[in-house]
Amino acid sequence: MTNPLIECIPNFSEARRPEVVQKIIESIQGVAGIHLLDRHSDLDHNRTVITYVGNPAAVSEAAFASIKTAAELIDLNQHQGEHPRIGATDVVPFVPIRDTSIQDCVRLAENLAKRVADELNIPVFLYEEAARISEKQNLENIRKGQFEALKEEIGSSPVRTPDYGPSELGSAGATVIGVRQPLIAFNIYLTTDDVSIAQKIGRAVRHSSGGLRYVKGMGVLVEGKAQVSMNLTNFSKTPIARVVEFVRREAARYGVAIHHSELVGLIPQTALIDAAQWYLQLDGFETKQILEQRLFDERQENTENANKEESFLNQLASADPAPGGGSAAAYSAAMGAALTTMVSRLTLGRKKYADVHAQMQTLEEESIQLQTELTTAIQEDADAFIQVMEAFKKPKSTPEEIVQRNNAIQAATIQAAELPFRAAQKALQIMKNAFQAARIGNINTISDAASGVIFARAGLRSACINVRTNTLSIQDQNKVDQLLASVRQLEKEAAEIEEQLTLLLQERGGFPN
């Protein structure tokens, strides 16, 4: 069983207001399944870089949440800093780490870009491996002239035209989303204090001067030693061992040697294994020969088996109050999305359905994204219930504590109502998509598409019940009225689709009355 892991390193145009940076971090950490690895804020640059990892669904959801938060709190019209930038969330690279590919990450980037454009009205450019034209592969081309120049030139040329969203900039600017290989920040110190030697080697090793592909380099003086400072942008194509030997040979030309090397930040394990295999000249080596790797794999397998036993259905059946109906609603709707994706894939590429290829491709992309969002919502709903329970446990010994407790209960209850409401909205969209798949997709899968409609319908009804339940405890009557009116509209549209499905199954599927 695979266990995909993706790294995301979003860059935000803020460092001088710690409270803003903290809210962005909290929006990332609020997504289940996310592990925050690092954060770095530079006051001169007025820029913060955050590193986190998780499964594809969680990583995408955390990226969206942080982009949304940054857009609400950062105004590029007021931003000042040394680092080039075009957006509140300037750049969002995805990096495949384990059991996933560049193409998987490209699809993730495209789905996120579309969602950011559609829901936040922010222009999005795709770069690096996700770029659709060669000029956009290089981030510097997109960011040329920064926010101020892009504001005037957006839409004026292919490289200045966003891949998603409007050709105009608001206060949040634009966001660049893409995919790249893991970057290794790697420095080599020389047995000399002559910085000119390091500078010559830096020029020789970097690709822009005719050196090694996927290497950026320069020479600097650090703590009395000449240093060749490098970024290795694709260690699988230009291995770290090859870089070391290149620097070693160049250094020998000037009568010096390598004193030591250092890593800045994190490095993928694969890069170190590749270097060890190269230097030891190991033949037929496999990672399963590494003792710790074998132990990890065995532990992982045991964990997965335990997870199977403690499945979602078993969790629902337990005596614990969460997960409950709200999580089940999201799970049901997610199954509807998954079935729609299946029908799309069984239709795409077949000559008989060539005329609906574009429509089915759109359905596939939307269904994958909706499944991802609802998968995250399963845990979010359970967490929301727990937050309500925690609010009720707050002290109430003084008038101030009573007020604080009531405010906490109300905030948690509103959140507990809004989460299933958003799930119901997504479920309605899945019903529409699944119905469309039943109408134009592979006729042999019409029953699967219809099942997708029904699963989404069940999820919608269950989610709406959970909304109504929580509104009973909300004191803000305007909020209650707004939620209930919206729920009634969702249920009305869902009922209409269900009626249309019955007719479609009779007319296109030949189902008996």
Indicate if the pLDDT at residue 410 is higher than 60: yes
Mean pLDDT of the chain: 90
What average pLDDT score do residues 189-203 get?
Answer: 96
* pLDDT, tens digit, 9 for 90 and up, residues 33-59: 899 998 888 787 788 989 999 999 899
**Residue written as tokens 């893991």?**
182
Share of the chain above pLDDT 70, in %: 96
Query: What is the mean predicted confidence (pLDDT) over 97-101?
Result: 85
Q: Which domains does the chain have, with CATH numbers?
A: 5-179 (3.30.990.10), 184-282 (3.30.70.670), 315-507 (1.20.120.680)
- For strands 5-8 and 225-232, give the pairing: unpaired
Residue 387 scores a pLDDT above 90: no
Per-position b or e across 378-410, b if 16+ CB within 10 A of its CB: bbbbbbbbebbeebeeeeeeeeeeeeebeebbb
Q: Quick check: 173 and 147 in contact, CB under 8 A?
A: yes
Between strands 175-179 and 124-128, the pairing is parallel
Q: pLDDT > 90: what percent of the chain?
A: 65
pLDDT band at 7 (very low <50, low <70, confident <90, very high): very high
Q: Which residues pair with 231 in a beta bridge?
A: 185, 216
Nearest to 326 by CA among 377, 396, 286: 377
Q: What is the pLDDT of residue 2?
A: 56
The answer to whether the beta carbons of residues 132 and 159 sit under 8 Å apart is: no
Q: What's the confidence (pLDDT) of residue 318?
A: 78
Which residues are catalytically annotated? 83, 381
3-state secondary structure of 222: strand
Question: Taking the model in full, what pTM does it have?
Answer: 0.51
Count helices and strands in the chain by DSSP H and E runs: 15, 11
